[in-house]
Amino acid sequence: MRLSRRLYTLAMYLAMPVILYRLAFRGLRNRGYFSRWLERFGWFRNPGFESSIWVHAVSVGEFNAAIPLIEALMQRHPDAPLVVTTITPTGSDRVLKQFGERVFHVYLPYDLPAAIERFFKRVKPRIALVMETEIWPNLYFACREREIPIFIANARLSERSLRGYGPAISLITEAVQCATLVAAQSQVDSQRFLQLGAPPERVRVVGNIKFDMAVPSGLDENAREWRELWGALRPVWIAASTHEGEEAAVLQAHARILGRFPDALLILVPRHPERFRAAISLCRSYGFRTSCRSEDSVASLDSQCFVVDSMGELLKFYACADACFVGGSLDHIGGHNVLEPAALRKPILIGPHTFNFAEITDTLIRENAALRVANGAALGAQIVRILSDPARAAAMGDAAVAVVERERGAVPRTIAAIEDILAATAQRSRQ
């Protein structure tokens, strides 16, 4: 083991008390963090697999993107167990809700050699499919040592992440060189992985699989039913995947909107469950008549704010809205998935910080499908403009869905590349 890897592993062990303290602290707001700690060290029931196909998605967004890949792999390899790992409880809940016992789900172990060894002994992966930007040196080195191919699917790497590796850049470079293939979302992401040190012959631009999302049937009918209940003619806007630092700005925007449209309804969807109660309290502290999903099911005729304190229902509420703000972008989070409202033909607003989805948001803005706002005041002003001009809102929605349709096709390209690697692995094992 090289010195840099030894130092990294030592640092991981030394940091473990802090990591566990942080896990417990997060558990104060989300009880899911208090459970299943042994899984994070590679201790879980042995499923008895002879081999498996392993997909890692850190949380909800990455898992949602992986769903069509997992479904395709199930169809192509019906006898191969599918292992899905996440890191967050919300990601875990989403996996279990989507697939139940059709997949074997555990938390990804911490990047400690002994924990990784226990994990591999139990699941015996034929391939590691890692979604987006999860680069854990010990995990990648362990895959290389065991000749487990690593496929980084829907790979993206922001400029901020590239700079953030700092003094660990050489170790990260060595880790990414373990990957069999980096399936990049865009040419820009491809170039950044090359800057990181990925071999050029192992980097391929396949597109963003989030463009291939399937719109569930029945969303329009469901939206009509809900809007009838809370007032079919009311203007409705949604602030989705919001964070603590930007919810006040959203509510200030809503106050401005109510000045122009007194019957307007805000649907507020906090990104994390630990924000649910705080978001409800914040809405009420502004004097808004507030209802929520867990207590009231749907908004009432006199609701001014409706807080979605549930998971896995964002698309249903996007479908109900006349305009959509995608959170994580007023604050320095980097933005969240703008393709869901785009696929539903909705006008989109985003804040100044969208480095996680830079190319997509730039494309939507260039195609007049999205607007960038600097703060809560600008957000309120632009929502008023959109709600005042249905023709403009429709044109933005049409432009958004046109971008999505034009960029589809990454899923079949990704599956084809995965199948090539699995076939090559099978051939080597027979030799």
Q: Which amino acid is at 153?
A: A
Angle at 307 between CA 304 and CA 308, to 5 degrees: 140
Could you give the maximum distance between any two Cα atoms of the chain, in Å?
73
| Dist CA 396 CA 366 (whole Å) | 11
User: Which domains are assigned to the chain?
Assistant: 3-207+409-430 (3.40.50.11720), 219-407 (3.40.50.2000)
Q: Where are the alpha helices (DSSP H) in 146-239?
A: 159-164, 169-176, 187-196, 219-230
Q: Which residues contact 183 (CB under 8 A, 6 or more apart)?
A: 151, 152, 153, 154, 155, 204, 206, 413, 414, 417
| Dist CA 204 CA 151 (whole Å) | 11
pLDDT tens digits in sequence order for the chain, 431 residues long: 588 899 999 999 999 999 999 999 888 888 888 899 999 999 999 999 999 999 999 988 899 999 999 999 999 999 999 999 999 999 999 999 999 999 999 999 999 999 999 999 999 999 999 999 899 999 999 999 999 999 999 999 988 888 888 888 999 999 999 999 999 999 999 999 999 999 999 999 999 999 998 888 899 999 999 999 999 899 999 999 999 989 999 999 999 999 999 999 999 999 988 899 999 999 999 999 999 999 999 999 999 999 999 988 999 999 999 999 999 999 999 999 999 999 999 999 999 999 888 889 999 999 999 999 999 999 999 999 999 999 999 999 999 999 999 999 999 999 999 999 999 988 887 76
Annotation says 62 is catalytic: yes
Task: Write down the pLDDT at residue 27.
Answer: 86
Task: Write down the pLDDT at residue 1.
Answer: 54
CA distances to 89, 98, 105, 117, 123 from 94, rounded to whole Å, are: 9, 6, 11, 26, 21
Residue among 39, 50, 62, 228 flagged as catalytic: 62
Three-class SS of residue 265? strand
| Dist CA 282 CA 287 (whole Å) | 9
Cα 257 → chain centroid: 29
DSSP 31-87: GGGGS-GGGGGT-S-----S-EEEEE--SHHHHHHHHHHHHHHHHH-TTSPEEEEES
The answer to whether 373 and 237 have CB atoms below 8 angstroms apart is: no
The structure tokens 């106050």 sit at: 255
Task: Write down the pLDDT at residue 303.
Answer: 96
